[in-house]
Amino acid sequence: MTLTLLIDLDDTLLSNDIEVFQKAYFKRLAEALQPWAPMDKFMPAMMAAIQAMLTKKTPALTMEEQFDRVFYPQIGTAKSALTEVVNQFYAEIFPELRKYTAPRPGAIELVTSALDRGWQVVIATNPLFPRTAILQRLGWAGLSPDIFNFKWITSYEQSHFSKPHPAFYAEILGCLNWPSGPLAMIGNSLEDDILPAEKLGLPTYWLHEEESEAPARNALSQTGALENVLPWLEKIEMTQQAPDFHAISGIFATLQSTPAVFDTFSRSLPDEVWSHRPAESEWSLVEILAHLRDVDREVNFGRISQTIRGENPFLPGANTDPWVRERNYAAEPARAALEGFFQSRTNLLELIDGATKRELAQPARHAIFGPTTLKELLGFIATHDRTHIRQAWSAIQTAV
């Protein structure tokens, strides 16, 4: 099975002192926006908007939308009034920041070798920048997407979560149809790249050559220099079996990311694709979304509520598949079905937010699975999510 490789950008594929780079970036952007946002407004608004992106835990809104909700009201100018100015900044001024960066020795060789082996390569950079800024930095690294066939590149236009949230990594995998082959993450930051990816269940390679204390990690993970990554990846390809997403942090990340994945899938789809069924007996995208929404509302929420309260409930089987036709999901407005799923899943996430080990171990009795626990019930929902993401991806592919 094909290996899927997630790679960080700054100080992994591109040498970039991020503090120096950001200082120059903010200065140039502030100068470009000076007539509309004086410095005493610009920097507080920028810092507040970045903080809003970094702390966001709910699936609704992309990073761009989260940024916009904070930044533009604080500077007192509508985004539409600055679109042309901002576009000109990234086209003409942002390229000047290249001088603060340099290609990373060995990076091009690593990516080339990975692609030559048929591996899927993802640029998993923190999505706090517009896509144009990320593509330019890839070019500065000698890794232009015009030449290198990356499977996915994160950016603030598409991503709904940032590092260091494990949901950032779950969203990537969901957008790749939850690959069933080996997975790996490479990065230089223990806090942003390594630990959150491991919380999802990925083995990681930490680019770090100094001696340091590091917490216990995945048994397949390693630490070292960039030139030693390829032999490690070959080992991962040979030894890793099916990815393991059963840790509670991985389950939470999956539950958070699923509505975001559907949002990414559907943003640019024409109306007819939302309602397309691959076959008469299969479901369309809108039917899948309405199904997930109603199962969260009418099955999952009640089960989780009873269990987390320590009631040791008996959970009867729920045959929800007939609802698709009984409730005529196909006739629902597609976007409304997605927004309903956002809300139902957010309600569920709020219910389990901060659940303790004791609460996760609370028992329940399932009509089909027998004795179970809150953690296992949440795992069932996460598995159900992944199944329907794959189903939706298949429905979309047969329609486009």
| Amino acid 8: pLDDT | 98
CA dihedral sign of residues 21, 27, 33, 36: positive
Average pLDDT of the segment spanning 332-357: 95
| Amino acid 384: pLDDT | 96
| Amino acid 1: pLDDT | 77
Burial class (CB in 10 A: 0-12, 13-18, 19+), 272: exposed
| Amino acid 134: pLDDT | 98
Average pLDDT of the segment spanning 84-111: 97
Burial class (CB in 10 A: 0-12, 13-18, 19+), 54: middle
Q: Assess whether the previous peptide bond of 164 is cis (omega < 30° from 0).
A: yes
Token digits for 365?
């009795």
Q: How far is CA 339 from CA 22, 357, 389, in A?
A: 35, 31, 16
User: What amino acid occupies position 167?
Assistant: A
- Please give the Cα distance from 42 to 148 (Å, whole number): 36
| Amino acid 213: pLDDT | 66
- Please give the Cα distance from 193 to 300 (Å, whole number): 32
- Please give the Cα distance from 398 to 214 (Å, whole number): 46
**Percent of the chain scored above 90 by pLDDT?**
86
Closest CA to 157 of 95, 79, 67: 67
Name the pairing type of β-strands 370-373 and 363-366. antiparallel
Average pLDDT of the segment spanning 340-363: 96
What is the distance, to the nearest Å, from the Cα of residue 32 to the centroid of all Cα atoms in its chain?
31
Asked if residue 400 has pLDDT above 80, the reply is no
CB 218 within 8 A of CB 198: yes
Query: Where do we find the tokens 């990815």?
Result: 243
Residue pLDDT, tens place only, 300-315: 999 999 999 999 999 9
HSE of 302 in the Cβ direction (CA atoms, 13 Å)?
A: 10
Average pLDDT of the segment spanning 104-114: 97
Q: Give 39's pLDDT tier (boundaries 50, 70, 90).
A: confident
The phi and psi torsions of 103 (rounded to 5 degrees) equal: -60, 145
Residue pLDDT, tens place only, 69-78: 999 999 999 9
| Amino acid 215: pLDDT | 75
Q: Give 172's pLDDT tier (boundaries 50, 70, 90).
A: very high
Q: Give 200's pLDDT tier (boundaries 50, 70, 90).
A: very high
CB 154 within 8 A of CB 174: no
Angle at 104 between CA 98 and CA 106, to 5 degrees: 150
Residues facing 10 on adjacent strands: 14
Supply the mean pLDDT for the chain.
94
Asked if residue 330 has pLDDT above 80, the reply is yes
Question: Which pTM value belongs to this model?
Answer: 0.96
